[in-house]
Amino acid sequence: MAREPMLILDCSSYSKEITNIIKLFNEIGWVFKNEKMEYLSLNDGDMYCWQEESLSYDKLFSIVSQKQKNGEQIGVILYHNNSDKGTTFLANNTDEILLCLDINRKVIDGDFSEISWGGDYTDISWYIINIVAELEKAGCVLEQIKYEELIG
3-state secondary structure of 19: helix
> Given this model, what pLDDT does residue 111 score?
65
Give me the mean pLDDT over the 66-87 stretch. Answer: 96
Q: Is residue 35 predicted with pLDDT exceeding 80?
A: no
User: What confidence tens digit (pLDDT) does each residue in 95-116 have?
Assistant: 999 999 999 999 887 665 655 5
- pTM of the entire predicted model: 0.92
List the domain boundaries for the chain: 3-144
pLDDT band at 118 (very low <50, low <70, confident <90, very high): low
Taking phi over 0 as left and psi of -120 to 50 as alpha, with beta for the rest, 93 belongs to beta
Query: What DSSP character marks residue 83?
Result: S
